[in-house]
Structure 1
Amino acid sequence: MYVAETPDQLASFEELTSMSGLDFMLGMFEGRIAGPPIAEAMNYWLEAVEEGRVVFRGAPQFRDSNPMGSVHGGWYGTLLDSCMACAVMTRVPKGWVYTTLEYKVNIVRPIPLETEILAEGVVQHAGRSTGIARGEIVGAEDGRVYATGSTTCIILKPGAR
């Protein structure tokens, strides 16, 4: 996965809607489509993509710390939102789009800085108008659970009423 450095490197709306969500996510995973700049900023990247499932690998850095020196809750939230919503994306048909309506994060324990993690999102339901997924952040080496989450996404056809 390579990350866009300028806005013109991101996929256009036309490119996005010209393929299924799974094809789009596979294109990003395979390096044919640029990933979002936030992935570089927050030090995570795609590890696996398949229909209904997406995994990111990453490690929080000092720059992701809160004033107490531990990993900011926003880092957990961003990784969970990314893996769960991208899992829903893999179920979006060609010509359709999605966006997160809401997500919930449960932080189980603090992630030590520099600890490599896996953030996995798995679709539980993908219908005509909504997608629901669950997510989990675990240690890449020991499988220890650091956080869990859930999301609801809206799936819609642009221009449809």
Structure 2
Amino acid sequence: MSDETTATVDPAQMTGLELLRWMGTQVNDRPSIGRLLGMEMREVNEGSVSFALTPRADFSNPLGTVHGGICATLLDSVMGCAVHTMLPAGVGYTTLELKLNYIRTVPLDGDELTAHGSVIHVGGRTATAEGKVLDKNGKLVAHGTTTCMIFR
């Protein structure tokens, strides 16, 4: 998209699915948690999304492995964005509850993590979703659920 086209895009007029797909096309994306952590959108579909990131030394906990907050942020992002794909234009959301289970430690070896989120239910005021984080070999690293509040 050219700068002229980008300037005419009004995110408030886009459905959640349209907005996330548009954001995935932006080369010079705006500051965000995704940019800070190096998240990359892999798939954005109605009711499901996948993001990936490569751990780096800055993600270390005191034990020398990836801090659990990295997986928590990945899960919060994919589950929330999965809900977002189901929302009409002008409707927002926020995380009300986040429940995570950590299955194994993640080494700081530079191997990519992939997170998948999918919607369980979207109602009038709340939505639920589930997600999982996998290592490069497809082994489960963490999984969780979320409840989101919907602002209509």
TM-score by length of structure 1 reads 0.83
Cα shift at 1:15: 3.1
Cα shift at 1:32: 7.6
Distance 1:23 1:47 in 2: 15
Look up the equivalent residue of 2:54 and give its one-letter code: A
**Conserved 8 A contact 1:28-1:35:** no
Structure 1 unaligned runs (5+)? Answer: 1-10
The CA RMSD over aligned residues, in Å, is: 1.9
Is 1:56 aligned with 2:44?
Answer: no
Q: Which residue number in structure 2 is paired with residue 127 of structure 1? A: 123
Is 1:74 aligned with 2:72?
Answer: no
Task: Evaluate the alpha carbon distance shift between residue 145 and residue 130 of structure 1 in structure 2; reply closer, same or farther with a 3 A threshold.
Answer: same
Q: Which residue number in structure 1 is paired with residue 112 of structure 2? A: 116
Distance 2:35 2:42 in 1: 14
Other structure's SS at 2:87 match: coil
Distance 1:89 1:144 in 2: 27
Look up the equivalent residue of 1:120 and give its one-letter code: H
Cα shift at 1:81: 0.3
Cα shift at 1:67: 1.2
TM-score by length of structure 2 reads 0.87
Q: How many residues align?
A: 144
Q: Which residue number in structure 2 is paired with residue 27 of structure 1? A: 22
Structure 2 unaligned runs (5+)? Answer: 1-6
Cα shift at 1:27: 0.6
Give the fraction of aligned pairs with identical amino acids, expressed as a percent: 41
Look up the equivalent residue of 1:115 and give its one-letter code: D
Task: Evaluate the alpha carbon distance shift between residue 78 and residue 27 of structure 1 in structure 2; reply closer, same or farther with a 3 A threshold.
Answer: same
Cα shift at 1:35: 5.3
Distance 1:93 1:32 in 2: 25
